[in-house]
Structure 1
């Protein structure tokens, strides 16, 4: 697989085992990774690091993933980061809420990491 589009990836999830699996997988695929375990940490990491791609769980303590996505989109930084929700929320209304919040994709757990990687790799270039 080509790593031409690999870059900086921020992953926020309150499940430490899942977060560790994400890190192993995406580092093996050429990404530089930072992590957060909640929405506040995700926003702080985003402000400081400005990653190319952000993967967010929705149901995190404190600030949820939808609020994080809305804040990232409100900042209007260029280039625009690619936002992916990876969540247990699966109802059509919940998916619609993710897109309304500014996500580019909504994946339902347990999401297959190669499918997420393919979505990231196919993102438009800026």
Structure 2
């Protein structure tokens, strides 16, 4: 099992349980601590509890979409701010503009090249307490 040079605490927020769980398992196999939330409210609670270094956040979720979750995370001034990655199938110009406006740091289109995804993780700052 590969070990990460520096372990990251990673939160995956996605209503597609299979996709979220698979990404969490693969990143865990690379030495990272992973947690999964399956909706926006659960994701916000996990951010408060875990203080992740980075978050892979789906956009197209019911009830509370990823843009709304991102905006709420950026309002949490009492926690170290994670690297926030929009991890979505939406790749049109409007979606990318909304990603920036909501406070995301990066936009990655699903399915992502795993080498690029892992390199992004390894280059991210460690912010968790």
Q: When the two structures are superposed, what TM-score results if normalisation uses the length of structure 1?
A: 0.90
The list of structure 1 runs, each at least 4 consecutive aligned residues, that deviate by more than 4 angstroms after superposition, is: none
Greater relative contact order structure (CA < 8 Å, 6+ sep): 2
2:13 alignment partner in structure 1: 12
Contact 2:68–2:102 (Cα < 8 Å) also in 1: yes
Q: CA deviation at 1:125?
A: 5.9
Q: How does 1:40-59 map to 2 (within 5 A)?
A: 40-59=41-60
Q: Which structure 2 residue ranges, 5 or more long, are not aligned?
A: none
Q: How does 1:22-101 map to 2 (within 5 A)?
A: 22-77=23-78, 79-101=80-102
Number of equivalent positions: 126
State the alpha-carbon separation in 2 of the partners of residues 87 and 23 from structure 1.
16
RMSD, matched Cα: 1.7
State the alpha-carbon separation in 1 of the partners of residues 13 and 3 from structure 2.
25
Contact 1:25–1:113 (Cα < 8 Å) also in 2: no
Q: When the two structures are superposed, what TM-score results if normalisation uses the length of structure 2?
A: 0.88
Q: Which structure 1 residue ranges, 5 or more long, are not aligned?
A: none
Secondary structure, in 3 states, of the residue corresponding to 2:48? Answer: helix
